[in-house]
Amino acid sequence: MLKTYLNKMSKILTCVNQVGNIFKEATTRSEMISQILYGEKFCVRKSIGRFYKGYCIFDNYPGFVLKKNFKKITTKNNYRIKAKETSLYQGNISFKKTNKKLLFNSKVSILKKDNNFIKINKFWIKNNSINKIEYKTNNFLDKISYFLKTKYLWGGNTVKGIDCSGLVQELFKSINKRCPRDSKDQMVFFKKNVSLLNIRKGDLLFWKGHVAIAINQKNLVHAYGPKKRVVIMPIKKTIKILLIKNNLKVLAIKRPL
């Protein structure tokens, strides 16, 4: 069914910029609702001026993207950037670092190998900065340090700027696990409920429009708008703050793995 549906689409394009913003409407003045990383795929449904209307293949998230950030790429991206960010190099014999970088979770394919470098397009990256896409582990918090103190950005999906549900999604993406983009969908997607008394590392706490991740029985980590960054806070204190200041009660606590 999915294959038949995709075959009806006009084209599948690849993001060729460090990051491409996904907008709610076909204008850059519109709300940015998500982002797509280098090497990720976008299914185009319609062309509107400078924009494509469609959805991100990874999570079916719909929106509008700038055409200039996408191209038809035939090579399959079998690797994912595992470093927080990795520099791009020029050259064949001697490698010269450029000021360009790829970010955590970007997808690449290996075109050529040369000692400690691999060619991914017209540039090269160090070969110790990637994992195979199939790489799996249940420790989705392994790279949480990459995001600590990252600025809060509504609709953000990168180590340069991220929101609460984007943080959850990118951590699961790094271990090759599917995860919806928005917190309301994540709460439905993850089925196992747990109580606050039984909370443990990796459990997800949901409020209306917000999600946080328990890092142990006492503390959580989240991209928190009022702090303007990704922060670690006590669980009980966070629950109290959101209740008093925003009148938000915990809707659910889910165990994703």
E strand residue ranges, 67-181: 70-71, 79-81, 85-90, 96-103, 107-108, 112-114, 117-119, 124-126, 130-132, 157-158, 161-162
Instruction: Report the pLDDT value the prediction gives residue 90, as an integer from 0 to 100.
Output: 92
- By the 8 A CB rule, do 170 and 35 touch? no
Provide the domain limits for residue 225. Answer: 144-254
Is the Cβ–Cβ distance between 179 and 254 less than 8 Å? no
250 shares its domain with 177: yes
Alpha helices per DSSP H over the chain: 2-7, 164-173, 183-189, 235-246
Percent of the chain scoring above 70 in pLDDT: 96
pLDDT tens-digit map of 54-96: 999 999 999 999 999 999 998 889 999 999 999 999 976 678 9
Number of domains in the chain: 3
Q: How confident is the model at residue 4 (pLDDT cuts 50, 70, 90)?
A: very low
> Within a domain: residue 164?
yes
For residue 243, the domain's CATH number is 3.90.1720.10
Residue 222 within a domain: yes
pLDDT in the model for residue 135: 76
Q: pTM of the full predicted structure?
A: 0.93
Q: What is the mean pLDDT of the chain?
A: 94
Query: What pLDDT does residue 104 have?
Result: 98
Based on the domain organization, do 88 and 171 belong to the same domain? Answer: no
What pLDDT, in 10s, does the model give residues 231-242? 999 999 999 999
